[in-house]
Amino acid sequence: MMEIVRFVLTALFLLGALVVLAAGVLGQYRFRLALNRLHASSMCDSLGLLSLMIGLSISADDGWVVVKFALTMVFLWIASPTAGHLIARLETTTNPRLDRDMEVLEK
């Protein structure tokens, strides 16, 4: 019985992660501006991978694997916003027509 509950929970979390990741990829296709696409990809990084790791941690037999997954998530939560900030700064610097698409307060 316990095994079945664990499997169902794992499947739910993994399929939820797939939905979030697919929404992120769909955002890459639907959005025109780079800053909007950055939003979709950051959502993938945080929520998508988090629910994937939770689902995998539920089904993992080895405790150390769960610790390593948690460590990966902590690193990713620090690294992903930093990368997003760098990409946004690159976009605001290199795009000369940025103020045509949105209101730019300070460049």
Partner 1 sequence: MAQAYHTLYTVVLVALSVLTLLCLERAVRGPGIAERIIAINMICTLTLGMICILALMLSEGYLADIALLYAMIGFLAIVVLCKVYLGVAMEKQEKGDIPK
Site for partner 1, rule CB under 8 A: 3, 7, 10-11, 14-15, 17-18, 21-22, 24-25, 28-29, 34, 37-38, 41, 44-45, 48-49, 52-53, 56, 59-62, 64-65, 68-69, 71-72, 75-76, 79-80, 82-83, 86-87, 89-91, 93-96, 107
Identity of the residue, 82 or 103, whose beta carbon is nearer to partner 1 in the bound complex: 82
Residue 104: left if φ>0, alpha if ψ -120 to 50, beta else—which one? beta
Q: How far is CA 12 from CA 2, 46, 52, in A?
A: 15, 17, 10
- Residue 20's contacts (CB-CB under 8 Å, 6 or more residues apart) are 43, 44, 47, 48, 51
Q: How many helices (H) and strands (E) does the chain have?
A: 5, 0
CB of 77 vs partner 1, minimal distance in Å:
10
Instruction: For residue 32, give the DSSP letter.
Output: -
Identity of the residue, 94 or 103, whose beta carbon is nearer to partner 1 in the bound complex: 94
CB of 103 vs partner 1, minimal distance in Å:
18
Identity of the residue, 65 or 102, whose beta carbon is nearer to partner 1 in the bound complex: 65
